[in-house]
A and B are shown apart, each in its own frame.
Chain A
Amino acid sequence: MAIPPTTDIAHVIELTLNVNGSAHRCVLDTRTTLLDALREHLHLTGTKKGCNFGECGACTVHLDGQRVNACMVLAAQADGRAVTTIEGLSQGETLHPMQQAFVDCDAFQCGFCTPGQIMSAVCCVREGHTKSDADIREWMSGNLCRCSSYPQIVEAVKAGASAPNGGQ
């Protein structure tokens, strides 16, 4: 649900969101989260709103290269920092290796959690937390999948980890 607009200038912030390499100047209610800024203001709806409480991981994005829950970050906190969303992974029509791995491994059913899973998986590889299935399960545990595609997700993360540039 979008936050009702405020009319008080004290409750508005002007900021720059650097998303997927493009700078966006925004004027936002201070209460706006990074998640809502991406979805409602920049219309990048690939990042999903699941619980809005930091519990499900559907809103996972990269902030200065690290995976975070976009619902737990105020847009104001992301001012001037580098944000990468699922829309920023592919090179034109060429999927990112981790996106391709999720397709190849059939690592989703409804697909709602998938953007968050993939954003988390890219960092999981980058961080080196793919040494074993148990390692992957532990370091991917912040991304819930209500369809329970977990075995396929582990396979996809493994496949993405072994692909060139899987963690880039």
Chain B
Amino acid sequence: MEPFTYARAGDVQDALKRFGERTALLAGGTELLNWMRLGIEHPAHIVDISRLQDLKGIESIPGGSGLRIGALATLNEVALHPRVANDFPALSEACLKAASAQLRNLASIGGNLLQRTRCPYFRSDEVLPCNRRVPGSGCAARHGINEKHAIFGWTDDCVAVQPSDPAVALSALEADIVIESPRGTRRVSAADFHTLPADDHGIRKHNVMDDDELITSIELPWAMPNSAYLKVRERESYEFAIASAAVGLELHGGVIRKARIALGSVAMRPWRLSGAERNLQGLAVASPDARRAIEQEFAAARALSNNAHKIAIARNAAWRALQLAAQRAEGGAA
């Protein structure tokens, strides 16, 4: 780890003023510290924002069923908050299935979204070909050990996946990310927050954030009690997903009025099944037609040399998460 100066930001405006060359903001630290240890990040200045009380609250948005979550709320605080647990169960489950109890007491929800799209080659002790780590060096995973890698939206430049669990739930719950910079406030849909190689910046960026921007909150526009997050892993807990699925559902008499489906760990962003979302409207939730609507989306999946199994796992996860959300919808109506 290289030497750095350490300062605490007094408030959000102070933090924004301190942005500069080789400056990193420190919140939970659970990602940044490891990147610094590996030499992937080497800031000369650290600005600690972890004590900014303004960014910690979780509060109802007046005039509706929405919820505003401060960017510095920890994953455990988000998961266990009564309104999140009752009205946004997919988000609660996604947070609880991330990392360990100890890490969830440190990691912030805002920082969680800023996790790098990465893979074991990116984060290895020995520097291996990785276009994200050393631009132009190639992609060791493209024809290497790639069983955990992408099945959607990858290119020869990079086949890594975005590892965040909460991001998948936030995409299905149609959340907005609220971002502050010296230029003012902007809002980005969670579904558009992480970037793909096909986007303007290629793989030079992991998300839409500019270097002088700070996430201040996450807004969930309306309650989604009929939502679920399903995470498929090689072991039961404390492990990244092979694939995961988040579903937000509006159901009337067993018929889908609205479905939002996002897959995790299959691409560089939570992968929305937009075609299925449209086609599921008006279908009985457990019907063969509904199953076909989901399956059709996987025609676009492209397996790498070692991960064809992920297509079946992700497909089944999407279907199971849909049924899980539907059970909650029926339970809620009773």
Binding site for B on A (CB under 8 A): 3, 6, 8, 10-11, 13, 29-31, 33, 52-54, 57, 60, 63, 66-69, 71-74, 76-77, 120, 123-124, 127, 129, 137-143
Decide: B3 and A139 in contact? CB cutoff 8 A.
no
Decide: B238 and A141 in contact? CB cutoff 8 A.
yes
B26 at the interface (CB under 8 A from A): yes
Chain B interface residue count, Cβ-Cβ cutoff 8 angstroms: 25
Decide: A141 and B3 in contact? CB cutoff 8 A.
no
Which chain A residue lies CB-closest to B3?
A11
Stretch in B96-104, B212-220, B309-317 touching the partner:
B96-104
Decide: A76 and B48 in contact? CB cutoff 8 A.
yes
Nearest-neighbour CB distance to chain B for A144, whole angstroms, equals 9
24 CB < 8 A contacts A-B: A6-B3, A8-B3, A13-B6, A29-B3, A30-B5, A30-B6, A31-B1, A54-B34, A66-B105, A71-B33, A72-B33, A72-B106, A73-B106, A74-B26, A74-B33, A74-B48, A76-B6, A120-B101, A124-B101, A140-B101, A141-B101, A142-B100, A142-B238, A143-B100
Decide: B29 and A72 in contact? CB cutoff 8 A.
yes
**Chain A residue contacts of B102, Cβ below 8 A:** 54, 57, 60, 67-69, 120, 142
Nearest-neighbour CB distance to chain B for A72, whole angstroms, equals 5
Per DSSP, chain A at the interface is: mixed
Which chain B residue lies CB-closest to A3?
B1
Nearest-neighbour CB distance to chain B for A153, whole angstroms, equals 14
**Chain B residue contacts of A29, Cβ below 8 A:** 3
Decide: A141 and B100 in contact? CB cutoff 8 A.
yes
B252 at the interface (CB under 8 A from A): no
B131 at the interface (CB under 8 A from A): no
A72 to B48, CA, bound (A): 14
A52 to B237, CA, bound (A): 20
Interface string of B28-41 (1 = CB under 8 A from A): 11100110010000
**Chain B residue contacts of A60, Cβ below 8 A:** 102
Nearest-neighbour CB distance to chain B for A35, whole angstroms, equals 11
**Chain B residue contacts of A127, Cβ below 8 A:** 101
B50 at the interface (CB under 8 A from A): yes
Which chain B residue lies CB-closest to A6?
B3
Selected contact of B50 from candidates A13, A54, A77, CB within 8 Å: A77
B46 at the interface (CB under 8 A from A): yes
Decide: A67 and B33 in contact? CB cutoff 8 A.
no
A13 to B103, CA, bound (A): 25
Which chain A residue lies CB-closest to B239?
A141
Decide: A54 and B30 in contact? CB cutoff 8 A.
yes
**Chain A residue contacts of B37, Cβ below 8 A:** 52-53
Decide: B237 and A53 in contact? CB cutoff 8 A.
no
A33 to B6, CA, bound (A): 13
Within 8 A of A (CB), among B1-24: 1, 3-6
**Chain B residue contacts of A137, Cβ below 8 A:** 236-237
A77 to B72, CA, bound (A): 14
Decide: B3 and A74 in contact? CB cutoff 8 A.
no
A71 to B101, CA, bound (A): 15
A143 to B28, CA, bound (A): 19
Selected contact of B101 from candidates A53, A73, A123, CB within 8 Å: A123
A85 to B237, CA, bound (A): 26
On whether A141 and B237 interact (CB within 8 A), knowing A30-B46, A52-B37, A69-B102, the answer reads yes
Which chain B residue lies CB-closest to A7?
B3
A140 to B238, CA, bound (A): 10
Nearest-neighbour CB distance to chain B for A11, whole angstroms, equals 4
A3 to B236, CA, bound (A): 36
Decide: A72 and B100 in contact? CB cutoff 8 A.
no
**Chain A residue contacts of B34, Cβ below 8 A:** 53-54, 72
Decide: A54 and B103 in contact? CB cutoff 8 A.
yes
